[in-house]
Structure 1
């Protein structure tokens, strides 16, 4: 069975390796594509194809369809163009290719827009932190006046972003220069930000939120069209260098099951939570494999394998091992030569 991963995040290399480890008979022939041949997944997949650069999305979808047809792809697991491809299942099925999408297209659009997603989220036991959207200095001032009296520290983040890009904690005491010189990452001076926003006139949609200062939980999951099949929760200690703890909190697992059902989540996805004043809060859904997927799999379930074999054969035929709750995990970097 020929399986194609197109351009996506670097965790695909770990996922391909995990699938191959669980598939000694070689039932799945794994293909990866990327515009650059100098990526780790080019070495871990059975085959590698070079993707074209600079295509608009419609042209890219046409290229994907031609690739599936010409390479006789049975299962397509998209990274790039995943939201657009989630609306193309019938078109690809006509050529014999099933697309493994993390959710229906309309749900993916909602999940990627944090302002809309937060407004629509009502998760028992894991509320979203208080927030207000803004795009201008006046809107920011009004949001700050509303939120600051209720919360000792606020932060900003873009409504559309990945990897935490654009996130910053607002510091009311120090300038951005002082923060930079002090090595305070992910901080920005309140006055500097307010002045810069006024100079810009407007900005992309942003959120002003209560800052959550507790530990973060990253939960790697497998779902079947809204049913939570498996989840592994990793707790990230506040102090670096201690690895991560597998912490299967019942409230977190319940929240993940609710979110999977609400959004029709499917295949491998990741949900993040964070504590603030001792209360668990929902941060976001990543409708893709997380960067820590390999650490989650150390706890027992091989999540990429479970998702792929369940999608191919039905989850009733897939064994899901118990999670080794309480263990400490980490990733060890190793160097290699790239072709």
Structure 2
């Protein structure tokens, strides 16, 4: 960067900051670099992470290591330098880098608690919503379901259980239908299982088949109950769970650029085998648009829906952060990362959903494995 002789005539470029995410940080940074390459207005791309992630940082103009939870928890008055909380660390460096917009990634509530400080610094904070209460209701899948019902949004039913007795009572009441279980709070389908009572296949089930074809995520109902009841982990750290009807229809993932509950752009995806089908499914979005409004979603979020036996699309959950597949959207003609950040950085006018839809060309995408060298072997 040139150093102008007259500082009064020089204005440092604005910057966009992507904090540590779950799985899409690298793809989004790459999209921002592509946007930067075709923009008439300069801007910097900043990334941060707790760990050494050179494959992520390679797409950043500036990078920072976020304070880890362990460092913050172990910080004492005896240390020579106090470890800042993550939100404060990011805020202080954002001020010195002329950051205009921050997408918080995986730690949204940490930042959301201090939204007013980011506002005071003139920084557009994107956490997925605009209040801690909204983020907490999104994370808690049981509270999320109840709020959907309050807004008359079609949602997958769920019944919470906190112990074996409650689970057995629910199975006695609802066991006449295909069922599944998942944690009240969780990501990446951790803890999700379809329950196999044998009723779908003539009172026959094969436990080894469940173990062999793990991608089916099926387990015999009695074995699940026994494992749950006998778990030392659950005994020491109770895990609230949900029992739910298993919906048989097509599942969709929807990537959404939104602002204060308004959908600005969105792309729907569904998967058959290894192929992702990218486009804009109006029947799915009829459920998603009021959902985004009801929860006041703000930033780039992802939604999962699934159709029931009658073809009605029902909401499964909102993730208050970009999905791992948001990079796929670039193949459609509408890169959602660029659509959102070009607006928030002031490079373009506010997108409209109708105009965004016109840019989408339906396509099919197959993900491929790639490798990135991160360092030389130790001598």
Normalised to the residue count of structure 2, the TM-score between the two structures is 0.80
Q: Counterparts in 2 of 1:55-94, with a 5 A limit?
A: 55-56=72-73, 59-94=85-120
What is the match of residue 370 of structure 2?
A: 334
Shift of 1:329: 2.0
Secondary structure of 1:207's aligned partner: strand
1:40 match: secondary structure: helix
Cα distance in 2 for residues equivalent to 1:182 and 1:21: 40
Deviation at 1:166, TM superposition (A): 0.6
Tell me, yes or no, if the aligned pair for 2:160 and 2:240 is still in contact at 8 Å. Answer: yes
Structure 1 unaligned spans of 5+: none
Partner of 1:246: 278
* Structure 1 residues 251 and 183, CA gap change in structure 2 (3 angstroms): closer
**Structure 1 runs, 4 residues or longer, greater than 6 Å off:** 123-126
CA distance 1:210–1:197, shift in 2 (3 Å): same
- 1:52 equivalent in structure 2: 67
- Determine the structure 2 residue equivalent to 1:231: 266
Could you say if the C-alpha distance between residues 270 and 309 of structure 1 is closer, same or farther in structure 2, counting changes exceeding 3 Å? same
How has the CA–CA distance of structure 1 residues 131 and 197 changed in structure 2, closer, same or farther, with 3 Å as cutoff?
same
1:82 CA drift (Å): 0.8
Within-5 A mapping of 1:142-291: 142-149=169-176, 151=177, 153-173=178-198, 174=205, 179-183=210-214, 185-200=216-231, 203-237=238-272, 240-241=273-274, 243-277=275-309, 278-291=311-324
Q: Which residue pairs with 1:294 in the alignment?
A: 327
The corresponding residue for 2:201 is: none
Give TM-score, length-normalised by structure 1: 0.89
Larger CA Rg, structure 1 vs 2: 2
Q: Structure 1 stretch 14-23 or stretch 89-98: which is displaced more?
A: 89-98
Alpha-carbon distance in structure 1 between the residues aligned to 2:362 and 2:124:
37
- Residue 115 of structure 1: aligned partner: 142
Shift of 1:182: 4.9
CA shift, 1:37, in A, is 2.1
CA RMSD of aligned residues (A): 2.6
How many residue pairs get aligned? The number is: 334
Q: CA deviation at 1:261?
A: 1.1
The structural deviation recorded for 1:338 is 1.7
Is the 1:126–1:280 Cα contact (8 Å) retained in structure 2?
no
36, 43, 52: which is aligned to 1:28? 43
